[in-house]
Amino acid sequence: MANIVDTAIGAGTFKTLVAAVSAAGLVETLKGAGPFTVLAPSDTAFAKLPAGTVEGLVKPEAKGALTGILTYHVISGKHLAADVMKMTSATTVNGQLVEVKFTDGKVYINGATVVTTDIVCDNGVIHVIDSVLLPK
């Protein structure tokens, strides 16, 4: 079993996320012991952002903002879908809460739909979401 970063690279649908994690200097952290629950926006989710947003965020001068956004997608601990469905909120690694709703058989995180659950890694779990979460 691979760690979260190597799993994301292997999937091939998280190229933007992996590039952002690298630009923010978070690769070693997300390869670390964890456990982590990563709410991973797919490349399609990043494509929904306004033109130029990603390019601006991966510049060295935007590292602080990028790190804030990325850590808003990580929850400490390993929370499988069965656990997440019982939550109403969760505290992210950046310290802010995300709202969790379970409606009509789907889980939403701050309005983003969880499209794939329980991609288990050796240091946590990935849940794929269809939008990028932006901290307040």
In angstroms, the CA 46 to CA 133 distance is 10
The fold of 4-129 is FAS1 domain (2.30.180)
Give the domain ranges of the chain. Answer: 4-129
pLDDT given at position 1 = 86
Segment 61-113, tens digit of pLDDT: 999 999 999 999 999 999 999 999 999 999 999 999 999 999 999 999 999 99
Segment 45-59, tens digit of pLDDT: 999 999 999 999 999
Segment 99-120, tens digit of pLDDT: 999 999 999 999 999 999 999 9
Per DSSP, the three-state class of 126 is strand
Residue pointed to by tokens 């999937």: 11
In angstroms, the CA 86 to CA 67 distance is 28
